[in-house]
């Protein structure tokens, strides 16, 4: 799947006031901005046209725009974040998406769903059940996707330590290939896929992104980088240490479509 566009939001000065369970210390704001700028350059290097939104100080987590929508060519599905403090982020993204989409669906209460729990693998979607995405949110999304010709299956990660969202533990790289952390490797939903198994000490790097033939991955994970390059993938390592401190990763920082 080729992408043409991406939406990103510059982190605000109160970025460190967002939600986190990482216990890695407070992010340095200047370094956060530098890393975000490098990320945006990488998206452009992959051929994407960027829509860059100003910081939204009302919502410290709002730079993690991926959680607000699930995008397919025919429709935009607006989410309903499981963190109450983030629900208001969706309206601003809706306004931006109206420039690109005419067909919209919305996850409604009592459903909750965040984009970080949704992994597209071709015409199939894996929907993570997590502390942020519940069964009702997953049911609604599956219904919307079916209307647009897609299949889906759920993957319960609520008993898996150290991952917030499904895409903290898997990524789809095309050609029926998944990156998977060890605790998800034997899940029946992934039967029939080729898998690239993460070394446990490098699990954070599982949150990587395939964009137009290049894989963006977190810098500092040499075993994973070597595995990808041995398989013929072109990699773009990026330092996202400040976002990791706020439970974020590479996929979280953009909506790609």
Token digits for 202?
């490098």
252 counts as catalytic = yes
CA angle 197, 133, 171 (to 5 degrees): 25
Question: End-to-end alpha-carbon separation of the chain, Å?
Answer: 9
- Among residues 40, 119, 208, 252, which one is catalytic? 252
208 counts as catalytic = no
For residue 244, what is the enclosing H or E element? Answer: helix 241-244
Q: In angstroms, rounded to a whole number, what is the distance separating the alpha carbons of residues 64 and 86?
A: 10
In terms of Cα–Cα distance, which of 104, 235, 231, 248 is closest to 167? 248
173 contacts: CB under 8 Å, gap ≥ 6: 179, 196, 208, 210, 215, 233
Q: In angstroms, rounded to a whole number, what is the distance separating the alpha carbons of residues 48 and 251?
A: 14
Number of C-beta neighbours around residue 241 at 10 A: 17
For residue 238, what is the enclosing H or E element? Answer: strand 234-238
- Among residues 36, 40, 119, 165, which one is catalytic? 165
In terms of Cα–Cα distance, which of 164, 218, 174 is closest to 196? 174
Active site residues per annotation: 165, 252
């Amino acid at each position: 799947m080729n992408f043409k566009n991406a939406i990103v939001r510059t982190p605000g000065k109160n970025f460190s006031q967002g939600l986190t369970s990482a216990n890695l210390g407070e992010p340095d704001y200047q370094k956060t901005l530098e890393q975000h700028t490098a990320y945006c350059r990488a998206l452009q290097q992959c051929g994407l046209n960027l829509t860059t939104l100003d910081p939204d100080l009302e919502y410290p987590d709002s730079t993690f725009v991926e959680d607000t929508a699930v995008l397919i060519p025919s429709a935009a599905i607006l989410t309903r974040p499981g963190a109450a403090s983030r629900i208001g982020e969706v309206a601003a993204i809706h306004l931006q998406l109206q420039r690109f989409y005419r067909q919209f669906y919305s996850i409604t209460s009592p459903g909750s769903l965040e984009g970080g729990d949704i992994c597209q693998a071709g015409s199939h979607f894996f929907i993570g059940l997590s502390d942020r995405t519940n069964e009702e949110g997953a049911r609604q999304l599956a219904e919307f996707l079916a209307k647009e010709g897609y299949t889906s299956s759920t993957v319960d990660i609520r008993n898996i330590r150290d991952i917030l969202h499904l895409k903290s533990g898997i990524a789809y790289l095309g050609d029926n290939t998944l990156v998977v952390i060890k605790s998800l490797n034997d899940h029946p939903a992934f039967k029939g896929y080729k898998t690239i198994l993460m070394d446990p000490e490098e699990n954070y790097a599982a949150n990587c992104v395939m964009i137009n033939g290049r894989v963006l991955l977190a810098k500092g994970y040499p075993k994973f980088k070597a595995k990808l390059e041995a398989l013929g993938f072109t990699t773009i390592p990026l330092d996202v240490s400040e976002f990791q401190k706020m439970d974020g990763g590479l996929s979280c920082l953009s909506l790609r479509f």
